[in-house]
Structure 1
C-alpha cells in the first residue's frame, strides 16, 4: 500500500465540515454511504489521452465546484434482471468487484446510465458486436431526460430501442468510499470506457457549469496550484489517465483494486485526508 495525503484546505466548505467533525469530540455515527458509479470516458487527443470531465455547479449539495467524471448514485431499477445485457455477465463482474451478482448488475447498469444521462455517451449496441454510433439528436436527448426524471429505467429505454448494454466496453479502475465526516457519502466504483466511434460527449448536463475534454496533466497542475478543485479519488484517477500511453491501453489495464476510505487527520500543520492506496 502507498500512503497519500490530500489537503482539506483547498475547499472552504469541505474544511468547515471537517473542523466541525473534529471539534465534536465524541464519536459521531457516520452517514451510511450510498452505492454509486462513475466513468472515465477517454479518447486519444493530439497531445495524449484526454478524459471527459464536468465541474459541478456551486449549488450542488455534494462536491460543489469540484471537477468530476460523469456518474452518480445507483437507482433501484438498475438491478432489473431483464436488463438487455452483452459482454461479461453480472456474475463475472461480481467476481471482479467482489460483490454479489445483484449488486454487480446495478453498479454496471448505473455506470452506463449515468454516463448517458450526464454527457450523452451510450455504451450499448444492437448486438454484442456492434456499438450504436450516433445518439446526439433530439430523440436521444429526450431519452436522457426520461432517465433523469425517472420516467423510464435504463432497461426500458434499451428494450424500446432493441439495444443491449455492452458491459465489455467498461474497464474497472477503483473503489473509493467518502470519508466519515461528510454529510453525504458514497461507496463508488470507478470505471473507464473508450469514447465509442461516431459518438460525442456533450455539455448538456444541468449539474455542471463546465463539461469538456481535459488534458489530465494540465488539470493536475491546476489542482496543485489551487486553480481547480478535485476530491482525492479524482486526483488519483486523473493522474492515472495522465500516465497512460493510449486511451485503449488505459481501458485495457487491470489495476490492483482495494477499498479506499480516506481518513481525516489533523497533522498539526493542517487538516489532511490520508488514504492508503493499492500499489
Structure 2
C-alpha cells in the first residue's frame, strides 16, 4: 500500500528535563541533512505512533489529568498508544529507558524486543502532556504531535549514556534551557520551549494544554479543556 503523504499522523515527542530546580537542561539531537521532515534541525526525541503501540502493556498509565486532556479532539482510546510511542521513540533515538524492571507477558512487538531484553517494561506515570501541535498544510509530512514532559530522574540508568541510540538523531546532548534557542530549531520547538520554561518549578501536570492547530483555512492557538488563548498585545 502506498503511503498517503498528505495524511496527518498521530505522533509523540518527549522533552526530558534535567536538574530542573538548579540548572535546568533538556535533551535534544539533530536531524540528518537528508531527512524529509525538518532536516538539520535540533529537536526533541519523538516520532509517529505505530500500530503495535496501541496494544503495548504499560506498567502504569498516564496521570489521569493528562489522559483526560489527550482525549479531547482525538480518536477515542488513543492515550495508551501515544504514551507507548513516546517511550519507544525515546528508547530508539536516545537509548534511554522510561520503564520498570520486569518480564513481559506474551509476545513482544518487534520494535520493543530490545527494550524487553534489557529487562524493562514501559511505564507512563511520569509523563506529563504539556503541548500539542499539528503540522501546517503544504509540508512533506504532517503530524498531530503530542509533547510529553518527563523529569530525568525517571530515566533508568545513566542519563548521559547514549550508546544504545539509533543513528536517527546526531549530536545528542543536554542543552541548558536558557541557551536552547541558540540552536537551529523548528518554529514549533521554540514555542514549546516557552511552555517548558514556564513549567520548570511546577511538578504538577498542567490544567490546560496549548493546542497549535493548523487547517487549510486558518491557524488557531487553543487550550484543551479551556478557552481560546487571548491575542498577544
- TM score, norm. by length of structure 2: 0.75
Of 41, 49, 63 in structure 2, the residue corresponding to residue 74 of structure 1 is 49
User: Matches of 1:259 and 1:243 in 2, distance apart?
Assistant: 16
User: Matches of 1:189 and 1:111 in 2, distance apart?
Assistant: 9
What residue is the counterpart of 2:38 in the other structure? 63
Contact 2:212 2:219 in 1 (8 A): no
User: Matches of 2:118 and 2:170 in 1, distance apart?
Assistant: 31
User: Matches of 1:245 and 1:153 in 2, distance apart?
Assistant: 32
Matches within 5 A, 1:31-46: 31-44=6-19
- TM score, norm. by length of structure 1: 0.64
The reply to whether residue 109 of structure 1 matches residue 68 of structure 2 is no
Distance 1:218 1:48, change over 3 A: same
User: Matches of 2:96 and 2:9 in 1, distance apart?
Assistant: 24
Cα deviation, residue 160, structure 1: 5.1
What residue is the counterpart of 1:259 in the other structure? 211
Number of aligned residues = 209
The reply to whether residue 172 of structure 1 matches residue 133 of structure 2 is no
Of 100, 112, 117 in structure 2, the residue corresponding to residue 125 of structure 1 is 100
Cα RMSD, aligned residues only: 3.2
Give secondary structure in 1 for the equivalent of 2:68: helix
Cα deviation, residue 164, structure 1: 2.8
What residue is the counterpart of 1:153 in the other structure? 111
Cα deviation, residue 200, structure 1: 1.5
Matches within 5 A, 1:234-253: 234-246=189-201, 249-250=202-203, 252-253=204-205
Matches within 5 A, 1:136-147: none
Give secondary structure in 2 for the equivalent of 1:122: coil
Give secondary structure in 2 for the equivalent of 1:167: coil
The reply to whether residue 198 of structure 1 matches residue 153 of structure 2 is no
The reply to whether residue 87 of structure 1 matches residue 60 of structure 2 is yes
Unaligned 5+ runs, structure 1: 1-29, 128-150, 223-227, 266-272
Cα deviation, residue 238, structure 1: 1.6
User: Matches of 2:176 and 2:95 in 1, distance apart?
Assistant: 20
Deviations 1:171-222 (A, max 9, x none): 11111000012121111010011112633142744123321011122122x2
Contact 2:128 2:205 in 1 (8 A): yes
Cα deviation, residue 96, structure 1: 2.9
The reply to whether residue 53 of structure 1 matches residue 53 of structure 2 is no
Unaligned 5+ runs, structure 2: 103-108, 224-228
User: Matches of 2:11 and 2:206 in 1, distance apart?
Assistant: 20
Give secondary structure in 1 for the equivalent of 2:130: strand
Give secondary structure in 2 for the equivalent of 1:153: helix
